[in-house]
Structure 1
Amino acid sequence: MTVVVTGATGGIGSAMVRRFADRGDDVVAVARPTEALDALCADVPSAVPAPLDLERPGGLPAALCDLREVEVLVHAAGIADVASVTDTPHDLWQRTMAINVTGPAELTRALLPALRAARGRVVFINAVAGLHGVARWSAYAASKAALTELADSLRLEEAAHGVRVTSVYPGGIATELLRTVRGAFGRPYDPAALVSPESLAETVCAIVDAPLDIDVTDISVQPPPR
């Protein structure tokens, strides 16, 4: 099985890369061209690096262009700056929408022939914040709401080609990004009270492996009550 993971160097993305690689899948790790991407693929030798900046997804790297079939495309890339509408300049709106929505849309468009050939699945890692407004998090919440609409539209359009689409709505994943976000909000960060990236990756694998007569379209992932 060929699996493409975006945001591969982030907490969620790297967990996805490792979990799919552990299963024996062929993983293409998509992230900005950094030492972190090189280090990840050195640590996971079966993962192939695909340097790509989703803010400016121009020409695709060879690792993506050469794919003829893609069974799974996981969109785990994202930024989540905390700022009110008053304090969110135009360039931050542009960057948030590019990385969280339009970049994933463009990469999905480019990989649709390979996804159709494999009758594959696209998994969008969304957020509970995409289901409602959040004060001081307007750009992020808006981008995640847009990601829901992208996923729902894609599902309707690609059903005839056998491509399935799932939106995953985590309510708190123990990543460094969430640590930063909660710090900006002045809220505590306790990894023990959150879902681990590894558990989220395991959940996505379960969705991918679901029987063909079951289609998981939307799923909320929350830590159990304490």
Structure 2
Amino acid sequence: MQPTILITGATGGIGIALARLLKDHAQLVLLGRNPQKLTSLQTEFPEARTEALPLTDAQAVQALIETLPALDAVVHCAGEVVLSSIQDSQLEDWESMYQSNVLTALVLTQQALPQLRASRGKVVFVNSGAGLRASPGWGGYAASKFALKALADALRQEEPLISVTTVYPGRTATDMQKQVRDMEHAEYQPEKYVRAEDVAQAIKTVLDMQRPSVIEELSIRPG
């Protein structure tokens, strides 16, 4: 029987690259925020379940999880970035990034725990190099990713039946990276960045790992 794998942020970047890699190997539940992109996603993945779900709405998330006969893995790919110096930071930007980068993962993971315990499943948090070190202009984003690391670290110790992995990609050739380069007033050069497909392959390796082996943390950098 194929495993059931839920992917957030599945409408682009690393999320859709992972979905393409797994489509013949898993029953996919693909979550995103853009209804138009989700329609295209459903066309590309007719066997998958696609949903536009407010991931901080615990009741809505619980309702989705309860409809799944099983759940073997959750991969958190959704995220948001706004660059600004500390001096010029806007509180609403920090709040929005914290919600998108941390609270969505928290709520979904909480609601998925019973299913994941039953399947002895996996949770993969797609973090960032900014989750390990902060740079000028990246304070708000890094703070949210540091918090995501803390969530993963605590979960790993609290839930011995579940494998927990954090992946730290460096700059990756995605639409989000285009936005970042615009904010940095710099050229987007995808050939210099990590390929989303390579991050997806690394996540698949994590998902394929058999107990008792667990990859707890994995960094991927442009060479």
TM-score normalised by structure 1 residue count: 0.92
**Helix, strand or coil: the match of 2:194?**
coil
Preserved contact between residue 11 and residue 176 of structure 1 (Cα < 8 Å) = yes
1:136-155 mapped onto 2 (5 Å cutoff): 136-155=137-156
Percent identity for Structure 1 against Structure 2: 36
Give the Cα separation in 2 of the matches to 1:96 and 1:56.
16
Give the Cα separation in 2 of the matches to 1:15 and 1:197.
6
The offset of 1:58, in angstroms, is 4.6
**Helix, strand or coil: the match of 1:169?**
strand
Preserved contact between residue 62 and residue 111 of structure 2 (Cα < 8 Å) = no
Give the Cα separation in 2 of the matches to 1:201 and 1:219.
12
Please report the RMSD computed on the Cα atoms of aligned residues, expressed in angstroms: 1.6
Q: Once superposed, which parts of structure 1, at least 4 consecutive aligned residues long, lie more than 4 Å away? A: 55-58
1:23-172 mapped onto 2 (5 Å cutoff): 23=25, 25-32=26-33, 34-54=35-55, 56=57, 58-60=59-61, 63-159=64-160, 162-172=161-171
Preserved contact between residue 127 and residue 144 of structure 1 (Cα < 8 Å) = yes
Preserved contact between residue 194 and residue 223 of structure 1 (Cα < 8 Å) = yes
Matched letter for residue 124 of structure 1: F
Corresponding residue pairs, total? 221
Give the Cα separation in 1 of the matches to 2:190 and 2:34.
28
**Helix, strand or coil: the match of 1:154?**
helix
C-alpha offsets along residues 107-166 of structure 1, whole Å, 9 cap, x if unaligned?
A: 10001111111100000000001111121121110000000000000000001xx10100
Give the Cα separation in 2 of the matches to 1:57 and 1:9.
22
User: What is the aligned counterpart of 2:19 among 17, 20, 23?
Assistant: 17
**Helix, strand or coil: the match of 2:6?**
strand
Instruction: Specify every segment of 5 or more residues in structure 1 that has no aligned partner in the other structure, as ranges.
Output: none
TM-score normalised by structure 2 residue count: 0.93
The offset of 1:57, in angstroms, is 5.1
**Helix, strand or coil: the match of 1:46?**
coil
Preserved contact between residue 11 and residue 197 of structure 1 (Cα < 8 Å) = yes
CA 1:61–1:106 in structure 2 vs 1: closer, same or farther (change >3 Å)?
Answer: closer
**Helix, strand or coil: the match of 1:207?**
helix
Preserved contact between residue 50 and residue 64 of structure 1 (Cα < 8 Å) = no
